[in-house]
Amino acid sequence: MEADSALQLLLSANQLKRVPRTGWVMRGVVDAESVSDHTFGVTFASLVLAQMVDEPLDTVKMLTMALIHDLPEAILGDIKAPAWRHFPEGTKPVVEEQTLRALLTGLAWGDEWQTWWCEFGDRNSLEAMLVRDADRLDLLIQAFVYSETTANRWLEEFWAEADSHSFELEVSRSVFEALCHLRGRSRRAGEVD
């Protein structure tokens, strides 16, 4: 029975490979990354940041949070914030939590994963704060990469609200500042050309 539930979860998660990140698509990025691509970026960024943190953390919990943070999108798709604003306030977390619960039904570890997913949303642990920072960093790294490889002027809006106060942890702030420095150098080099 659990094997059937595990297989169903794996098949559902496989959908994330085909769900494009709509924020990029809406801004004209051709061949935009998938939610699965983003999940890899967040997970890898979490792993890197974890190496820079001086406090002990639960690596399994952290990596699980990173891997499942967007899992409900396997069913819901990547619905952008402007669309959610047309739903009653508080709808998004409720719908995503119910969707995740359905995906994890029949799995012995389902409740633990559900708890960790909620913890990620609430940012009430070091692991959750680190993964939230990694999520934000991956978005900005991807915006930087797309801006370097395309002439898309719509990507500037991702930087409008980006500052070091957006991050919970000092290690995340330091990586963000390094990215901003690289972006500044790149922009100045582009002006010279």
Q: Residue 116 — very low, low, confident or very high, per pLDDT cuts 50/70/90?
A: very high
d(CA 19, CA 71): 11
- Between 72-81, 98-107, 164-173, 181-190, the lowest mean confidence (pLDDT) is in 181-190
Q: Which residue has the tokens 């914030």?
A: 81
Provide the pLDDT for residue 191. Answer: 63
Pair 135, 97: CB distance under 8 Å: no
| Distance of alpha carbon 141 from alpha carbon 38, whole angstroms | 11
Res. 81 pLDDT band, cuts 50 70 90? confident
192 has a pLDDT exceeding 80: no
For the stretch 134-177, pLDDT in tens is 999 999 999 999 998 887 878 888 888 888 899 999 999 999 99
* pLDDT category of residue 193 using cuts at 50, 70 and 90: very low
Percent of the chain clearing pLDDT 70 (strictly above) = 98
Domains of the chain: 2-192 (1.10.3210.10)
| % of the chain exceeding 90 in pLDDT | 75
